[in-house]
C-alpha cells in the first residue's frame, strides 16, 4: 500500500513538471515569433507584395499614373526579347560586368585575406584599411572617382611616367567599362575580404601543421586544406557578388548614366529609364524587371547548388 501511495504522489509531480516544460516551450515560441514578426511584416510589405504586384502589372499597359489599365498578356515580354535591342544590349553588358566583378572580386579578396592572415601584428590595421571603402556610399565613391577620372588623371598624364592615364575614362565607350569596374572593385573587395578572413580563422592549425609535416607546399595546402575548409564562405561571397553585380545601378548611374550613348547601360538602369524617362511605361518596365528577377534567381540557384554540393564533399 505504501508503494502505491508513493506512486500516486509522484505522478502529480511529474504532471506538474511536464506542464511547466510545455509552458516554457510555448513561451519561448511566443518570444521567437514576437522577435521575428516585425521583420516578417516588413518583408511582406516591402518585398513580397511589391514583387507580386510587379508580376501582375507586367502583363498590363499601365503607365504608372492612371488607375485604369489593360491586360496585354505576354506582349511586354515578347517585345522585350524580340524588339528591344537596347534591353538586350544592357543584358549582355550586365553579364560582362558580372563575370568580371565575380571573378576579380573573389580572387583578389581571397588573396588579400590569405596575405593579411600571415601578418599577425599588422592584421587589424590592414583589415581596417581595406574595409574602409565599403563604409562609403557607392554613390559618393562614384562621384569621387568621377572627379579623379576627369580632373586628376589628366594632370597626372602630363607626366611622362603617367602617360597611360591619358584616356577619356568616362567618355570613351571602350574605357568607361573599366572605370565602372574600378569603382565597384575598390568599394566591394574589402567586404568580401573580411568574410574570407573570418572563415580562415576557423581553419584548424592542426590540419595546416599536418600537411606541412607531410611535405605539402603552399599551393597544395591551399587547394587540399584551406579551400575545402572555407567553402561555406566562398558560397556566401559568390552569392553576394553575383546578386550585387546583376542588380548594379548606383555606380553606373552616378558615373556614366549609361553613356556614352547606351554603351554602359545595365539592366537596372534600362528598367529605370523605361519607367521614368521613356513614356512612363510602367507595365513594360515591370516585365523587364521580372525578366531580371528570373535571371538572377536561376543563376543564383545554380551557383548555390553547385557550391553547396562542394561543401558537403569537403
Does 137 map to a domain?
yes
- 279 C-beta neighbours (distance < 10 Å), count: 9
Is residue 73 a part of any domain in this protein? no
Centroid of chain to Cα 296: 11
Q: Mind listing the pLDDT tens digit of every residue in the chain (314 residues)?
A: 455 554 554 556 556 556 666 676 777 888 888 888 999 999 999 989 999 999 999 999 998 888 888 999 999 999 999 999 999 999 999 999 999 999 999 999 999 999 888 776 778 888 889 889 988 888 899 999 999 998 888 888 887 677 778 888 888 888 899 999 999 999 999 999 999 999 998 888 888 778 888 777 878 888 888 888 899 999 999 999 999 999 999 999 999 989 888 899 999 999 999 988 877 899 999 999 999 999 999 999 998 888 888 775 55
**Distance, CA of 134 to CA of 109 (rounded, Å):** 13
- Using the structure block, give the residue that is written with the C-alpha cell 573573389: 106
What are the backbone dihedrals phi and psi of residue 249, each rounded to the nearest 5 degrees, phi first? -145, -55
Q: Total domain count for the chain?
A: 2
What range does the domain containing 52 cover?
1-57
Residues 58, 269 contacting (CB under 8 angstroms)? no
The model carries a pTM of 0.86
Q: 153 with 8, same domain?
A: no
Q: Are residues 48 and 104 in the same domain?
A: no
- Regarding whether 240 and 100 lie in a shared domain, the answer is yes
**Residues 191, 131: Cα–Cα separation, whole Å:** 6
Cα 36 versus chain centre, distance: 23
Decide if 70 is inside a domain. no
Same domain? 125 vs 202: yes
Quick one: 270 and 167 in the same domain? yes
Amino acid at each position: 500500500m505504501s508503494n502505491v501511495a508513493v506512486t500516486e504522489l509522484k505522478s502529480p509531480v511529474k504532471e506538474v513538471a511536464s506542464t511547466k516544460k510545455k509552458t516554457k516551450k510555448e513561451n519561448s515560441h511566443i518570444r521567437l515569433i514576437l522577435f521575428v514578426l516585425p521583420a516578417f511584416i516588413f518583408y511582406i510589405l516591402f518585398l513580397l507584395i511589391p514583387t507580386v504586384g510587379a508580376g501582375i502589372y507586367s502583363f498590363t499597359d499601365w503607365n504608372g499614373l492612371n488607375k485604369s489599365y489593360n491586360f496585354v498578356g505576354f506582349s511586354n515580354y515578347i517585345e522585350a526579347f524580340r524588339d528591344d535591342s537596347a534591353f538586350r544590349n544592357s543584358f549582355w553588358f550586365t553579364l560582362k560586368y558580372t563575370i568580371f566583378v565575380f571573378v576579380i572580386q573573389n580572387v583578389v579578396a581571397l588573396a588579400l585575406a590569405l596575405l593579411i592572415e600571415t601578418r599577425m601584428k599588422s592584421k587589424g590595421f590592414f583589415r581596417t584599411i581595406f574595409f574602409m571603402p565599403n563604409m562609403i556610399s557607392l554613390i559618393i565613391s562614384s562621384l569621387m572617382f568621377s572627379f579623379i577620372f576627369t580632373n586628376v588623371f589628366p594632370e597626372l598624364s602630363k607626366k611622362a611616367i603617367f602617360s597611360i592615364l591619358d584616356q577619356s575614362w568616362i567618355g570613351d565607350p571602350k574605357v568607361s567599362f573599366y572605370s565602372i569596374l574600378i569603382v565597384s572593385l575598390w568599394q566591394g573587395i574589402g567586404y568580401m575580404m573580411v568574410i574570407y578572413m573570418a572563415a580562415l580563422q576557423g581553419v584548424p592549425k592542426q590540419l595546416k601543421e599536418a600537411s606541412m609535416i607531410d611535405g605539402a607546399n603552399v599551393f597544395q595546402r591551399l587547394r587540399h586544406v584551406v579551400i575545402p575548409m572555407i567553402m561555406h564562405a566562398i558560397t556566401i561571397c559568390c552569392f553576394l557578388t553575383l546578386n550585387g553585380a546583376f542588380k548594379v545601378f548606383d555606380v553606373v548611374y552616378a558615373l556614366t548614366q549609361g553613356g556614352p550613348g547606351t554603351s554602359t547601360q545595365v539592366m537596372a538602369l534600362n528598367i529605370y529609364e523605361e519607367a521614368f524617362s521613356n513614356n512612363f511605361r510602367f507595365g513594360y518596365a515591370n516585365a523587364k524587371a521580372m525578366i531580371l528577377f528570373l535571371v538572377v534567381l536561376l543563376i543564383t540557384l545554380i551557383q548555390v547548388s553547385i557550391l553547396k554540393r562542394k561543401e558537403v564533399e569537403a
